[in-house]
Amino acid sequence: MIQTKGLTKYYGDLAALVDLDLDINAGDIFGFIGPNGAGKTTTMRILATLLEPTRGRAFIDGLDVTKKGKQVRGRVGYMPDFMGVYDDLKVFEYLEFFAAAFNIPRRQRKSIVDGVLELTDLQSKQTFTVDSLSRGMQQRLSLARVLIHDPKVLVLDEPASGLDPRARIEIRQLLQELQRMGKTIMISSHILSELEEMCDHVGIIEQGKLVFTGTMEEIRRRLGVSTMVRLQVVGDPRRAVELLNALPQIRQARRVDDHITVTFEDDSDNDGLIARTLVQGNIDIISLQPEQIKLDQAFLQLTKGIVQ
Ligand SMILES: Nc1ncnc2c1ncn2[C@@H]1O[C@H](COP(=O)(O)OP(=O)(O)OP(=O)(O)O)[C@@H](O)[C@H]1O
Ligand SMILES: [Mg+2]
């Protein structure tokens, strides 16, 4: 649904984007992740037909963005990273303004605006001025705006930035709802863990180059980050460590102070495995808990170029 081939953008001498190849399937939520200045906004602006690439091509729904701009704009909802300033404009006026800009007939505007207000849970704010909304509400309003012309593809530049954890979860639920409605969603972020629960695939970009693309599971494997479980057993932990290390699913079981840490070869649900093995070996468990995944730490290393 979204494809780029050798996409390259120079600003003067600065290579902001170099030979980017992306392929995003219809119905996916694709996370586009990279540090400041990596080229995320540049890519998204090209996809939204707001910026000409220097070289290479980009397609939305099979349409070349540089040649079929009008049709592409009808299929893409682009949410910029900055909302802009709308003095004294009320929420519903803002949305009706964009409905008019997308040539939606006057008679239909109200029902469409009501629909997106409902979807983004902003009905109670419709007579507030845009500037009086909190950051989280403004983000939702931006999303409401890109949905006005019912695009197939959503290109969202850091929709979760600056949001508190709760607003972040709300945005995530909203995006999952939009995915169920059949939309293809590309979403950028600096933070891998912010997207891990909602993305089907991720691409990591650094200094204009794609350094990784794949599923979350593949990225964990690549970064060497696996789920870790911490457990405590009654009595001497040595036999438990031995039993666990004999299992092929377990990468390593290790004694650390009075407990044992276990890492797995892959991400499948392994909790039952430890309990079963220890019970069969007549070892009583005091506690067993999954550890926080050190994904962001590993990600930082990747974007510093430490992990090859
Ligand atoms: N209009 C412009 N003129 C000149 N250089 C630009 C312009 N826009 C972006 N750049 C440069 O291109 C590079 C990529 O910028 P871009 O905004 O695409 O990165 P980004 O990944 O979106 O970063 P951020 O996470 O900070 O939003 C940066 O080095 C930036 O300074
Ligand atoms: Mg950006």
Mark which of 216, 246, 267 sits at the end of a domain. Answer: 216
To the nearest 10°, the Cα dihedral for 28, 170, 133, 46?
Answer: -10
| Boundary (domain end) residue, out of 197, 216, 235 | 216
Does residue 212 sit in the same domain as residue 241?
no
Identify whether 41 is part of a domain: yes
In a domain, 163, yes or no: yes
Asked if residue 127 and residue 250 are part of one domain, the reply reads no
- In terms of residue numbers, what domain contains 96? 2-216
Region 115-128: mean pLDDT is 92
Compute CA 188 distance to the chain's CA centroid, rounded to the nearest angstrom: 6
Q: Are 160 and 116 in contact (CB under 8 A)?
A: no
Which CATH number does the domain housing residue 14 bear?
A: 3.40.50.300
What is the pLDDT averaged over residues 70-75?
94
The per-residue b/e assignment along 231-245, b for 16 or more CB within 10 angstroms, e otherwise, is bbbeeebeebbebbe
| In a domain? residue 301 | no
Tokens of 1: 């649904």
Contacting residues for 111 by C-beta, under 8 A, at least 6 apart: none
User: 97 and 193 in one domain?
Assistant: yes
* Ligand 1: centre distance to CA 55 (Å): 17
pLDDT at 116: 94
| Confidence at residue 223, expressed as pLDDT on a 0 to 100 scale | 72
User: What confidence tier does 72 reach under pLDDT thresholds 50, 70, 90?
Assistant: very high
* CA pair distance 298, 296, nearest whole angstrom: 5
Of the pLDDT bands very low, low, confident and very high (cuts 50, 70, 90), residue 181 is very high
- The answer to whether position 97 is within a domain reads yes
Residue 195 lies in a domain: yes
| pLDDT single digits (tens) 199-223 | 889 999 999 999 889 988 787 777 7
pLDDT in tens, 27-59: 999 999 998 999 999 999 999 999 999 999 999
Read off the amino acid at residue 264: F
pLDDT tens, residue by residue, 15-27: 999 999 999 999 9
Residue type, 11: Y
Same domain assignment for residues 163 and 198: yes
- If one residue of 14, 51, 156 were mutated to test the ligand 1 pocket, choosing by the most ligand atoms within 8 A of its CB, it would be 14
Cα(307) to ligand 2 centroid in Å equals 24
Q: Does residue 135 fall inside a structural domain?
A: yes
Residues 28 and 145 placed together within one structural domain of the fold? yes
How far does residue 243's CA lie from ligand 2's centre (Å)? 49
Cα separation, 232 vs 280, in Å, equals 16
- Nearest CA to 115 out of 139, 88, 147 is that of 147
Average pLDDT, the chain: 88
Q: Which residue has the tokens 């990596």?
A: 38
Residue 78: which of 186, 178, 1 has the closest Cα? 186
Q: Which ligand is nearest to the CA of 34?
A: 1
Between strands 29-33 and 55-60, the pairing is unpaired
Judge if 159 and 203 occupy the same domain. yes
Q: Which atom of ligand 1 is nearest to the CA of 41?
A: 22
If one counts the domains in the chain, the total is 2
**Whether residues 209 and 230 fall in one domain:** no
Domain boundary among 159, 188, 216: 216
Q: What's the rounded Cα separation, in Å, for the pair 275 and 293?
A: 20
Q: What is the CA(47)–ligand 1 centre distance, in A?
A: 15
Contact 289, 274 (CB under 8 A): no
pLDDT above 50 for 112: yes
The answer to whether position 94 is within a domain reads yes
In a domain, 100, yes or no: yes
- Which residues have C-beta atoms less than 6 Å from ligand 1? 11, 14, 16, 34, 36-42, 81, 190
Please check whether residues 112 and 239 belong to one and the same domain.
no
CATH number, domain at 255? 3.30.70.100
Distance 37 CA to ligand 2 centre (A): 7
Q: 């190849």: which residue's tokens?
A: 21
| Amino acid symbol at 269 | D
Sort 296 into a burial class: Cβ within 10 Å, 0-12 / 13-18 / 19+.
Answer: middle
Domain match, 204 and 69 both: yes
Q: Measured between alpha carbons, how far is 36 from 20 in angstroms, rounded to an integer? A: 17
- Could you tell me if 105 and 155 lie in one domain? yes
Give the closest ligand to the alpha carbon of residue 42.
1
Same domain, 237 and 211: no
Q: Are residues 134 and 239 in the same domain?
A: no
User: Residue 7 has which token pair?
Assistant: 């996409």
